A and B are shown apart, each in its own frame.
Chain A
Amino acid sequence: MRMLDTLLMAMQAIVRNKLRSFLTTLGIIIGVASVVAMVHLGQSATRSVTESISSIGSNLLFVMPGTSQRGPGGVRTNAEPFDMNDADAIQNEVNGVLVAPGVTATVSVVYGNANEVIPVQGTNNNYFAVRNHGLSRGRQFTDNEMQAGAAVCIIGQTLAKEMYLNEESLGSTLRVGRTACQVIGVLEEKGQSMGQDRDKTILMPVKAVQRRLIGKLDVQSIFVSALVDGTTRRIQGDIEKLLRQRRHIAHGEDDDFYVRDTRDIADALEQTTNTLTVLLGAIAAVSLLVGGIGIMNIMLVSVTERTREIGIRLAIGARAKDVLMQFLVESIVLSTLGGLVGLIIGISGSWLAAEKLNMPFVISPGIMVLGFSFSVGIGVVFGYFPARKAARLNPIDALRHE
């Protein structure tokens, strides 16, 4: 018997039972679609995380007081805060770094009738480079403004849009806390990153925030950017050594501050999303398996239903292997079609979802090939048992079957 005829015979049987064929493949369609969609979405999420982390600033280290470990005692809060001297020391004593201090105050900001509570960041001109966040218009702080702690501010895009609507914000006066503050610049748009709207912020000189908003000389965090790629490890060590010295931490005692590399955060997040991808993929794979069992179920019913047909075929000279091939090819064609449809649905579904969730869409040929070949494999494995049952029928029993 010619292979092409076997294939045609299987196709005819499938077309003759359109609804049943569709229901049979539905399991495979859903299985392949969910595997492909889950893995694609997972990879899109991973990509989205990496991209948002690189947008925070490359080669960026966060230095904060306290300990990074959360134990039974919670976060250590009695750690002494930094001040500007610490930031200056890092800038001056560690090689190849750019330092921006971060003094945060969350205060209400008023312009005209608009009123919002916004995190205000006291920093210096290094911020733009360190945090990878430039100006879209206006100017940076002048040395005089830095030294005097002048009431000037640079606002993020969200503010520029929401509070000023379409009015020009440059040169206007904004009330920040109890201070009237002149807008000298607007930051470029940055979007969401790690759950924060980076455009909803106000930058002011360090001293302005310290004196006018919080009334303390504390610096809550220090952002350090490595000027040369691949030096963050060395810099992290240098900063730790320097700060231990400055904070008089005895040998063997734990740090009461921590230096965190954004790369580490990125790695941790990436690992999390990767684990999630694997988990989701595994769950989806189970549904693919269930789909395969569905095929086997229907093929078994089909063999019973078509026992008489099998008897006729055996009587007119079909060999056992001809019958085996007929049913096997039928189930392979079904599962292959299901795999193809599932692939299309899975890819378009994950593309749509990525679009809606504002994630970059990552196409992954590997999982497409895997999902598709798995569905074909399922056709072989789960089609074999019913096909063998058909092939082993005794011709006369099959013919007498009602």
Chain B
Amino acid sequence: MTVTEATIEGSYELGEVVTDFELPATSGDRVRLSDLRGQPVLIFFTTTWCPYCSAEAPFLEREIWQRYRGVGLQVLSIQVKEDEALAASFAQHHGWTFPVLFDEDGAVSGRFAPDKEGLPPEVAVINAHFVLNADGVVVYRDFLNMERFDARASHVRAVVDELLGAAS
């Protein structure tokens, strides 16, 4: 069902509870992860300059958020060390209606970052996806792999389908 990066170290492991965090959002609100307990959460990491992030952007809105918001999925985009105005513009351009959070110093993102090819954490985490169950436990994670990039987020969708027991 899922494509996981079993050989990648660092980051949160499958079965691990994600440490709570709070980040500002484009809406002006602050979003705390623990406030979302009781519902599954997709967290993905993005930047405005990443071609992969742009390619995936419409599918995250259309195929994930619009499809599953009504059955309990929460989606959080975390913009990694990105200019706030630019990130908001990016979200608007792609029609994102889910919360877009700013991790200005990359500290939260760094906790999710894998040890990957010697890259700095704020780079290694870009385009990573994490699905947490209602208890905040990681049930799926993936990291950008250019050779089998999943632009339509179909792997995430399969996990969410199973988690929610929801047909599309």
A and B associate in one complex:
no
Query: Residues of A with Cβ closer than 8 Å to B?
Result: none
Query: Residues of B with Cβ closer than 8 Å to A?
Result: none
